[in-house]
Amino acid sequence: MSYDEQLAERIRSALASVPVVEKKMFGGLQFMIDGKIAVGATVDGDLLVRCDPSRTEELIARPGAQRADMRGRKMSTGWITVSPEETRGADLQFWVAVALENRALDHRA
């Protein structure tokens, strides 16, 4: 099973103005900025989003969002997945903006 190709293409479009490196890992396709995962297309069709850890609880309260799960184990704060139903249309832009906001925070540190 592979990642959702359509989701990957939509992520590419959303990140068109940002220098990213695509890397196949965790069974999906991850979009990396400055060597760190920002977002990814998972094998389940979900969107993987790296967010500011302080916003995790706020963000998982949104429809379709939850703490990321890697092989049955919940990942640490700052990693969430969003269901395919919640990444259609403008919602994908919202989640990409969340990931980019987190990358900007990394650069200030």
Q: What is the predicted pLDDT for the residue at 107?
A: 54
Q: In what order do the strands lie in the sheet with 79-82?
A: 21-25, 28-33, 36-41, 47-50, 79-82, 65-67
Helix residue spans in 33-78 (DSSP H): 56-60
pLDDT digits 0-9 by tens, 87-97 = 988 899 999 99
Whether residue 109 is contained in a domain is answered as no
- 82: domain range? 5-104
Q: Residue 79 and residue 19: Cα distance in Å, rounded?
A: 21
Q: Quote the mean pLDDT of the chain.
A: 90
**Helical packing angle, 5-14 and 90-108, nearest 10°:** 60
Whether residue 71 is contained in a domain is answered as yes
pLDDT digits 0-9 by tens, 3-19 = 889 999 999 999 999 99
CATH number of the domain residue 65 falls in: 3.90.1150.30
Whether residue 42 is contained in a domain is answered as yes
Q: Name the domain count of the chain.
A: 1
Q: 3-class SS at 19? A: coil
Q: Tell me how far CA of residue 54 lies from CA of 2, 44, 68, 72, in angstroms.
A: 31, 26, 15, 23
Q: What size, in residues, is the chain? A: 109
pTM recorded for the entire structure: 0.90
Task: Report residue 1's pLDDT band, with 50, 70 and 90 as the boundaries.
Answer: low
